[in-house]
Amino acid sequence: MDLGLGGRGFLLTGASRGLGLATARALVDDGARVLISSRSPESVDTAVTSLGGAPAAFGIPADLADDAAAERLVAEAGERLGQIDGVLISVGGPAPGTVLSTAEDAWRAGVESVLLGPLRLVRALVPHLGEGAAIAFVLSISVKQPIGHLAISNGLRPGLAMTAKALADELGPRGIRVLGLLPGTIATDRIAEIEAASGDPVKARARTEAGIPLRRVGRPEEFGRIAAFALSPAASYLTGTMIAVDGGMTRAL
């Protein structure tokens, strides 16, 4: 299938590794140009090099929790890409913990990074988007069912998912699509760190896989291909929806 990505420009946040980088690679492989960002300048430079560099890939260090980051990202994307046809908005996972044990400051930091940072970027970006553009939020299966010891994610990501649905209503008349991607357990560095912290990563992986109908964790490139499709013109009638990329792990509809 021709996704129609040739020559189109995309901004991706939190994309120097993991799911964001996998999506950037899928977009570039299909002929798109990307500007990726993350908090670490070194990680951004490494990721851009791995994507082949200019004219297909550019990078800029940025933290969406920074009030000034959104305007700077949009300006850089306009300069580097010429036009912005879509955005993948991904932020790092908030601090772990239970509802009662998590400090109030951690909840406030989560609101800033998970909710307000992405919304600032959308506000800055929308005036530059034309008909056919797409906005995709990388969320989590915590939108549909809680994940143990991730109280902040369980509390905030469903709110961002509903905000995405509201944005789909607001921007639909302009031909701009908005959707969410709900990754389950994908084999990223973050998952490896969580497994290592358990004290027995092999047993932790086996426990996780036993709860997935496909009996394995996902690969980043599997997520990346789905995200690239969702952002592409081939998915032109897809908006206001949440797409679970989880091997069947989610038990809710």
pLDDT of residue 148: 85
- Contact (CB, 8 A) for 157 and 242: no
Residue-wise pLDDT tens for the chain (253 aa)? 789 999 999 999 999 999 999 999 999 999 999 999 999 999 999 999 999 999 999 999 999 888 899 999 999 999 999 999 999 999 877 888 899 999 999 999 999 989 999 999 999 999 999 999 999 999 999 999 998 888 999 999 999 999 999 999 999 999 999 999 999 999 888 788 778 877 888 998 999 999 999 999 999 999 999 999 999 999 999 999 999 999 999 988 8
Task: Measure the CA–CA gap between 195 and 209, rounded to whole angstroms.
Answer: 12
List Cβ neighbours of 242 (8 Å cut-off, separation of 6 or more): 139, 143, 144, 161, 164, 179, 180, 181, 182
Q: Which two tokens stand for residue 249?
A: 């792990």
pLDDT of residue 129: 97
pLDDT of residue 14: 93
Task: Measure the CA–CA gap between 42 and 143, rounded to whole angstroms.
Answer: 32
Residues 214-223 as b or e (16 or more Cβ within 10 Å = b): eeebbebbbb
pLDDT of residue 209: 93
pLDDT of residue 1: 79
pTM, rounded to two decimals: 0.95
* Domain range list for the chain: 9-245
Task: Measure the CA–CA gap between 69 and 45, rounded to whole angstroms.
Answer: 18
CATH number of 9-245: 3.40.50.720
Task: Measure the CA–CA gap between 208 and 215, rounded to whole angstroms.
Answer: 8
